[in-house]
Amino acid sequence: MNRIDKKFRELKRQKKKAFIAFLTAGDFGLKTTKRLVLEFDKRGVDIIELGVPFSDPIADGPTIQASSERALRRGTRLQDIIKMVGELRKLTDIPIVLMGYYNPVLKYGIKKFVSDCVRHGVDGVIVPDLPPDEADELTAAAKKTGFATIFLLSPTSTAGRIRLVSKKSKGFIYYVSLTGITGARAMLPKELISRVRLIKRYSDKPVCVGFGVSRPEQVREIARAADGIIVGSAIVKEMERDAKRKDFIKHVGNYVQKLTSALTADREASHQ
């Protein structure tokens, strides 16, 4: 059982939901990424999702695209990110997932990628442009090691697709809350809660919701049905806005804590 499974089992016992924070690895430097991961761990984040910067993203909106460009200009490479996680493992046991496109993974070598990730303490991977029915090489390599392969569902996914993704996904299922690219949204889709509940009828895997989440009230709303909430663009935007502050790490940590605290407040309210 890897760290992701242990985390969801622990949260289920405590009747809690997971808060998953995304940041692009190498944005403002890998040293900054390391400091933010440790800060997020202190601020109530349950799982870290590290974006692997890529020059031609298909699912990312302008905020995350810009963060990838900043990281690439600094020369951030996939192997550097994996090694950085190894360094973090001396300081934290928080589950860490990589999210990146298939091209860098394929170039790295699928078996070598999985082997190096496991050796350095990466717990799983999300590859948005690799559908589960074309991922046999990755899932076969991962199965031998306990490495989690996390696949995506969307508002248009059929029952058959839900079953396939449930079968192939390890760790959790990533539900994309809307049709479109990443980015904070003022309103969540009306059908989001019902769609998550539909997926959970077909699957016993944890279902985590991402894309468009940016405010504490949205976190609380999603927690009604989902097992986890993923926030990415809003955190990256906060980093971009406050990059020149002397207390940059603390300030971004304060913002993240407002979001993680929404889950705590929601639990306290439900017990009153």
Query: Considering the entire predicted model, what is its pTM?
Result: 0.93
Residue 117 pLDDT more than 60?
yes
The per-residue pLDDT for 190 is 75
Name the phi and psi angles at 20, rounded to 5: -115, 120
The per-residue pLDDT for 77 is 97
Mean pLDDT (the chain, rounded): 90
3-class DSSP assignment, residue 127: coil
Predicted confidence (pLDDT) per residue in 146-200, tens digit: 999 999 999 999 999 999 999 999 999 999 986 544 444 445 667 899 999 999 9
Annotated catalytic residue: which of 39, 46, 49, 116?
49
CATH superfamily for 3-270 is: Aldolase class I (3.20.20.70)
> Is the sign of the CA dihedral 205, 267, 13, 4 positive or negative?
positive
Residue 269 pLDDT more than 50?
no
Please state the rounded mean pLDDT for residues 22-34. Answer: 96
Is 39 assigned a catalytic role? no
Predicted confidence (pLDDT) per residue in 122-140, tens digit: 999 999 999 999 999 999 9
Annotated catalytic residue: which of 60, 221, 227, 266?
60
Is 60 assigned a catalytic role? yes
- CA-to-CA separations, 58 to 28, 48, 75, 180, in angstroms, rounded: 22, 21, 21, 10
Percent of the chain with pLDDT over 90: 77
